[in-house]
Structures are given as structure tokens and as C-alpha cells.
Structure 1
Amino acid sequence: MDKKTILFDFPEGFKADEIRRAKLRGIAPDAELIFQDNNEINQDLIAKVNILIGMPRRSILKYASNLEWLQLLSAGADLYTKPGVLPDGVTLTNATGAYGKSMSEYMICSVLSLLMDFPHYRDNQRQHQWKSSGKSRHVLGTTALVVGLGNIGSEFAKRYKALGGKVIGVKRTPGEKPDYLDELYTADRLDELLPRADVVTLSLPSTGETQHLFGKEKIGLMKPDAVLVNVGRGTAVDTDALSKALYAGKLYGAALDVTDPEPLPAEHPIWDAPNTIITPHISGRWDARENFERVFEIICTNLSRYFDNKTLINIVDLSTGYKKND
């Protein structure tokens, strides 16, 4: 194998200290390792790189004439699957498996807050009002519809099941039902499943199939006392349709860690919608220590597999935006 040039384009908050750099050098002792540390990547540098690990500017990739493999730090890969972003023949891998635990905790926290009517009590507290809403519910006896059963959705389903809820899973392709699901269906059954759910969670990538999947029609199929949680990509939900449903009382509440557009404009009415939680895309931060460690292990695993001539893990299908075999 010819000597390879590996560029580590780590953003702020995702630095490889000297111990980790030594580990990377040990995996690829004969390669040239360049740690860019968030400085600007120029055309001359990117042109000689064979392996790029990080979240590079898409505009610079057209000059990556020798690039063989791009390893992302994120699970979402949609920004890099668009036609023309990557040179032909480049293998794209993501960090699926790194963020499920932290993002599922965010989802559980959001669901519990909405079912217990915490946003209402937060508003009461600001107004110094000691007053019950009379609407608190518990997970036990409720049904969660988990749309998207990758690492994130599966981790949430396990936790919801452990709390005593019923869990129905929806995935793109057929498969065997795991023990943590009560029922499993493919996406073509979504319309008939929505009226059964007290909680609907979305952890979907941004693809043509998922664009505004939850618009007026599907939101209208949900129970008026149901809640919606979205942590995947904001484009899966029509923000205007969701906002109108919340204000009209056609949906009880929502938790959004992602929105469309993103960032959410300050003047959008959904900011003030009843029983709504909005956070700025923080459920899967890569600078959280636990997430950093899991991403770093994925990087090391794939580098080892590359130099051992083994198939990489987490290869993304550029035509679908999903990890291959999902």
C-alpha cells in the first residue's frame, strides 16, 4: 500500500490530545498524519489527502482529487450525500452508534417533561402561580411510536420500554422484531399507527422520503393529547403545520431539538406555542465527553480496518442517505 496522507479536521471542542494522537499514529505508523485543528484547509492541502476525518467545508471537497474515504464525526450525513459534493468513488462513513445514548436521554427527558406538563409549570413559576394544570400523565400505560430505528431510536425504545410504556417501532425496511419492541412495522403503515400513539418520536435523516414527512396530514392523524419529539433532522417536520396544530389544541405538545429552518428564526410563532420545548440542536453534542470517546473509538476502529484491508463500518449509501444495510 502506498503511503497515505490522513487529515484530521477536528472542530473546536473535539481536539485529539497527545495521548489520542499517539494512538492514531500507532494505528497508521507509515502514513502522514496532519492535524488541522480547525484552521482553514486550502486547495493544495486537500488535493493530497487520501483520508479525511472530520466535518470539512463542502465547498473545498471538489479539490480533493486523491480522496478515498471521508469519516464524519456526526451520525447525520445528508450534507455530504448531495450529488457533486464528494468526488466520484469516495467512501463516506458516519459516526452511527456514538450518539444514541445521549440523544435517547434527551428524548426521555423531553417526553417525561411533556407528559408531566412541566412547560406549563415552568410558566406558572415565572408568574409565581401555585396552580395545578390537572393534566399530568405517566409513561406506564402509554404507547410510544418510534419512527426511525437506528441507534438513536433503538436506544430510546429500550428506555421507554423499561419505564413501562408500550413501544411500536417503524423502520424503512422489514426486519426481525427485537425484544424491546412490542410491535414492528415498515413506514408504509405509518398512517394507521399514528392514531394509536401517545408519544411519537422522530430520529430520521434528511432524505427525499423524509422531507416534511410530518406535515398537516400526518400531524392531523395524531391524538389531540399526543406529543411529538424530533431529534433527527428538522426537515422531517413542517414547522408551520406543527405550530398551527399546537396553537389550535390539535396536538398536546412537542419537543424539538432540530427545526426547519435551523436556526429557528426569532419571529417564528412556534417559540411561544403551548407545551413546547425547543433546544438548539444539543442532544447529540460531539464535545460531550462520553460522545467524544465513542466517536474516537469509531475513528480508530475504521482506521484499523482500513489498513487491515477490511470493510469499514458505518458506510453511508449515498443514494439513500442511510447507513448501508439499514
Structure 2
Amino acid sequence: MLNREIRSVLVTVPFPDSDLDDLRKAFAPADVVVTRPNDSAAIAEALEHVDVAVHVWEIDDRFLAAPNLQWVHCDRAGLTKSARPEVFEKGLIVTGSAGRSASALAQHAFFFALGLAFDARALADKQSRHEWGGIPGYHDRLALHGQTLGVVGLGSTGREIARLGRAFGMRVVGYTRSANVPDGLVDLLLVSQSGDDIGELVSQSDVIMIAAPLTNDTFHLFDEERIGDMKRSAVLINVARGQLIDQEALIAALMENRIAGAGLDVTDPEPLPPESPLWDLPNVIITPHVTPKLVDRTQRSVQMIVENVRRYRAGEQLINQLRPEDLFSR
């Protein structure tokens, strides 16, 4: 197997000292240069010679131009901005921290599902008015148990969503790129590489949760036609990236009551403009692309990096390594 040498490393992530010590031990005997993420001069100087960078944000042109750089770990869950053609042309290895917050994101998705099922917006409005009851049709609303959950994307977050769905007593349908999924995770598995159509998930699901990466293939995965295939009683929840949904098509479907609601932690664009109709729709819950963190989120990131150091030196595939199919060039 290929053996890769690491001589010097740049770290721009403001990890606590104890976690930095763990990284220094993992990278030893390499020299580790730690800078503030906004210290452009220090970063530019380090990029003249480092082999590896652990960066707080996604990569930019400075990293692509670095003469000796072989691997960049971006301490981010999504790597859409890093999945550029130039990265693959150069052969630069790029990894991320996807999975460090998977269980929190899964809980976030169910915050939306429960909020929509229980009509949290109407209940909060009644509470603010000191009014007891009086929401038309409330006794006809359905809880999640017994309904069908469609999970789009079965990476770290999608798998946690599926597990929670089963815990809520839901039937779970999963749609994923490859069949590398634990047995028993879902009741019905649809695999795009095997020719399965996401339409089967869309037509069956009462709640659809999107946890897929944004790529050229998944851009506007939920367009006017796909949203039109949803049940009128179904809700669409997105905790991934805003451009996975054609937002204008979603707004039209919501305003015309062609679907029951939406929960959006991500929008297109971000921040969501003040004039967007989404803000005022009673069947929409919005959060500003922010999720409460896990108590050990930082340690999870560091553990990923430490394991990837071992894999890098051994010439193995790295955790969360960008692949050509992740390309996003729109």
C-alpha cells in the first residue's frame, strides 16, 4: 500500500489545548503550525510548505495553489464548496467532519416533524394569547406512530434519522446512493446505483426527511414534479442543503395546499430574504441553519482526524473523503 509521509501540518481550527495535544501526538513527528482562522498572513506562510491542513472552513484558492499540500481536513459537516473540479484535477485529498453531529441533526429533523404534527406554531400563538384550545380540526391530527417516514440519504445523519423513525414506531423507507447500509435499518431500501427510483419513496411517505449531500446529481432533487408526487397530507423536511429543493416549487405547493407543510433548517439562498413568503406560511417551520451541538462534538471531530492520520499514512481510504461523484459545479 502507498505510504504517505507527513512533515508539517497547518491547523486553523480553534480546538482546546487538550484536543490540540491529541492532534500533535497523532501527527508526530511532523511539525504542527497552529494559527487563527482569520490570520491570512500566517496561513499563507504555512501553505508554502505544509503537507496537510486542518481547516476551520471549506477550502479556497489558497489551498489549491499550495505547492506541497496533499490533504485538507475541513472541520465542516458539508463539503459542497470544496467539491470543485479543480480539487479532483489536482488530486487533492479533502475530508470533512460529517457525522460528528448526526444524532443532533436527526433530533432536529424530528423537532420539525413533531412541530408540524402537533401544529406547534398554532399552539404557541394560542399560548401567547392566553387562549385554551380552539384550533379547528386539531383532534383529527395524526401522531407520527404508524406513519411512513421517507429518508433521503443514508449517511451518518440519515441513519440516525432512520433509527429515530423506528423508535417512534414509523415504517421507514430509505433512499441512498449505494447499498452499504446496515441490515434492518429500514423497512424498504431503495438504491439509486441499482436503478431504484426515489418516486417510490415519495409516493409512500407521510414525512420526508432530506439528509443527502448536494451534488450535481442531487441539485433540485425535489423539483416541481417530485413535490407534485407527494401526498397532500405529507410534509417535507430538509436538514441538508437548501439547493436540494426547488424552493419556488416548494413555496407554490405550500401556498396551494398541495402538501401539508415543511420544516426547513436550510434555504436557497441563505440567509432567507425577509420578503420570502416562507416566513409567513402557517404550515412552515424555519430554523436559521443552526443545530444545538452534542456535548462531545469537538472530540468526535478530533477522533475522526486522528483515525484519518493513520489511514493517510497507511495509504487507505479516508473517512468522509470527497469522491468524484460528490462534484458540485453549479
| TM above 0.5 | yes
Q: Is the 8 A contact 1:47 1:63 kept in 2?
A: no
Show the 5 A alignment for 1:204-283. 204-283=212-291
Look up the match of 1:165: 170
Q: Give the whole-Å Cα distance in 2 for the aligned partners of 1:27 and 1:45.
A: 19
Please, which moves more after superposition, 296-305 or 118-127?
Answer: 118-127
Look up the match of 1:50: 51
Q: CA RMSD in A?
A: 2.2
Identity, in percent, stands at 32
Say whether residues 1:155 and 2:160 are aligned partners. Answer: yes
Seen in structure 2, the aligned counterparts of structure 1 residues 240 and 56 have a Cα distance that, compared at 3 Å, is closer
Q: Is the 8 A contact 1:7 1:34 kept in 2?
A: yes
Look up the match of 1:291: 297
Q: Gapped runs of 5+ residues in structure 1?
A: none
Cα deviation for residue 321 of structure 1 reads 4.3
Pick from 66, 69, 75 the counterpart of residue 67 of structure 1. 69
Say whether residues 1:17 and 2:16 are aligned partners. Answer: yes
Pick from 196, 199, 211 the counterpart of residue 204 of structure 2. 196
Question: RCO greater where, 1 or 2, for CA within 8 Å and sep 6 or more?
Answer: 2
Q: Give the whole-Å Cα distance in 1 for the aligned partners of 2:64 and 2:20.
A: 28
Q: Give the whole-Å Cα distance in 2 for the aligned partners of 1:166 and 1:87.
A: 43
Seen in structure 2, the aligned counterparts of structure 1 residues 146 and 56 have a Cα distance that, compared at 3 Å, is closer
Query: What CA deviation, in whole Å up to 9, does each residue of 1:76-102 have, x standing for no partner?
Result: 111111122577121111223212111
Cα deviation for residue 140 of structure 1 reads 1.2
Cα deviation for residue 314 of structure 1 reads 2.3
Q: Tell me which amino acid in the other structure corresponds to 1:9.
A: T
Show the 5 A alignment for 1:284-323. 288-321=294-327
Cα deviation for residue 63 of structure 1 reads 2.4
Q: Is the 8 A contact 1:62 1:86 kept in 2?
A: no
TM-score normalised by L of structure 2: 0.88
Q: Is the 8 A contact 1:80 1:86 kept in 2?
A: no
Q: Is the 8 A contact 2:266 2:289 kept in 1?
A: yes
Q: Gapped runs of 5+ residues in structure 2?
A: none
SS at match of 1:84: helix
Equivalences, count: 316
Say whether residues 1:8 and 2:11 are aligned partners. Answer: yes
Please, which moves more after superposition, 163-172 or 121-130?
Answer: 121-130
Q: Give the whole-Å Cα distance in 2 for the aligned partners of 1:305 and 1:113.
A: 42
Cα deviation for residue 177 of structure 1 reads 6.4
Q: Give the whole-Å Cα distance in 2 for the aligned partners of 1:20 and 1:177.
A: 31
Cα deviation for residue 104 of structure 1 reads 0.5
Seen in structure 2, the aligned counterparts of structure 1 residues 68 and 161 have a Cα distance that, compared at 3 Å, is same
TM-score normalised by L of structure 1: 0.89
Q: Tell me which amino acid in the other structure corresponds to 2:256.
A: A
Seen in structure 2, the aligned counterparts of structure 1 residues 89 and 147 have a Cα distance that, compared at 3 Å, is same
Show the 5 A alignment for 1:74-223. 74-84=76-86, 88-130=90-132, 131-133=134-136, 134=138, 135-174=140-179, 178-187=183-192, 188-223=196-231
Q: Tell me which amino acid in the other structure corresponds to 1:192.
A: E
Seen in structure 2, the aligned counterparts of structure 1 residues 248 and 154 have a Cα distance that, compared at 3 Å, is same
Q: Tell me which amino acid in the other structure corresponds to 2:8.
A: T
Q: Tell me which amino acid in the other structure corresponds to 1:161.
A: R
Q: Give the whole-Å Cα distance in 1 for the aligned partners of 2:318 and 2:178.
A: 22
Cα deviation for residue 253 of structure 1 reads 1.0
Q: Is the 8 A contact 2:219 2:244 kept in 1?
A: yes
Q: Give the whole-Å Cα distance in 2 for the aligned partners of 1:244 and 1:276.
A: 13
Q: Give the whole-Å Cα distance in 2 for the aligned partners of 1:82 and 1:306.
A: 21
